[in-house]
Amino acid sequence: MAENYKTEQESFWAGEFGDEYVARNRGEVLVASNLHLFSLMLARAMKIKSVLEVGANIGLNLRALERLLPEADLAAVEINKNAVQELKDWGGAEVYHSSIFDFSSSRQWEFVFASGVLIHINPDMLPSVYNMMYKASNRYIGIVEYYNPTPVSIPYRGHDDRLFKRDFAGEMMDLFPDLKLIDYGFVYHRDSNFPMDDSNWFMLEKG
C-alpha cells in the first residue's frame, strides 16, 4: 500500500504506535466482551449476511461477529500492515489493506461499522468517512466510540491531536436525513463480566 497519507493520524496508526497497539490489544477476554456488545447492538436488527468493519485492527470484533453471525460474509479495512497480516493469518474475513480515506468498493454490505476508530480520525476528514460508510452500507451502520455532546480533543497516551470525542452518530444523522436511530447504549469499564472502555454504541438504519 502506498504510504501517501493525507493526515498525521494515518501515519501514526500505520507506524510504530499502531504496531504497539496491535501487540497490546488481543486475547479471548476482549473477544468475549465484544460478543456481549454486538449481541446488544444487533438485537433489533434483521438477519445480517454481510459485514464490513472500518479500522478492524487484528479483527477482535470480527471474531466475535463470526460466532454471532456464522453465515455472514465478513470484510475488514485496516491501515497497519502488521494488523493486516494477522487478519489474513486468521482467514475469517476479506481484508482491504488501505487507509479509510482511500478505501472504495463497488459492493455494499448489510452492516458497516466502526469501533474505537472515528475518535482517532482527523476531524476535518470525518465527513468523508461518514460518506464512505454510508455508501458502503445497504442497511445498517454501527458506531462504537467515546461520546461527547460537543467536539473535544483530549491527550492520548502522551500525544496531542490523536483522540477526539464528539457526537459521531448525531453528525451522521444530520448529514444523511434518511438514517434513523434504532438503538443505542453504553458499555462500562467496571462491568463485572464484560468490561470495555467506556463507550456509547449506536445502531442506525437507512430509511
Q: Is the pLDDT of residue 86 over 60?
A: yes
Question: What pLDDT score does 88 carry?
Answer: 97
All structural domains of the chain with their residue ranges: 8-206
The pLDDT tens digits of the residues spanning 13-60 come to 676 665 666 665 556 778 899 999 999 999 999 999 999 999 999 999
Question: What pLDDT score does 62 carry?
Answer: 97
Average pLDDT across the chain, whole number: 91
pLDDT band of 2, cuts 50, 70, 90? very low
Name the residue with higher pLDDT: 93 or 17. Answer: 93
Looking at domain 8-206, its CATH architecture is 3-Layer(aba) Sandwich (3.40)
Q: Is the pLDDT of residue 118 over 50?
A: yes
- What are the backbone dihedrals phi and psi of residue 50, each rounded to the nearest 5 degrees, phi first? -150, 140
Q: CA 38, CA 115: separation in Å to the nearest integer?
A: 11
Quickly tell me which residue has 454490505 as its cell.
109
**Three-state SS sequence of the chain:** CCCCCCCHHHHHHHCHHHHHHHHHCCCHHHHHHHHHHHHHHCCCCCCCCEEEEECCCCCHHHHHHHHHCCCCEEEEEECCHHHHHHHHHHCCCEEEECCCCCCCCCCCEEEEEEECCHHHCCHHHHHHHHHHHHHHEEEEEEEEECCCCCCEECCECCECCCCEECCHHHHHHHHCCCEEEEEEEEECCCCCCCCCCCEEEEEEEEC
Question: What pLDDT score does 120 carry?
Answer: 92
Question: What pLDDT score does 1 carry?
Answer: 45
Pairing of strands 179-187, 199-206: antiparallel
Q: CA 88, CA 184: separation in Å to the nearest integer?
A: 31
Question: What pLDDT score does 167 carry?
Answer: 98
Q: Of 184, 181, 180, 188, nearest to 201 (Cα)?
A: 184
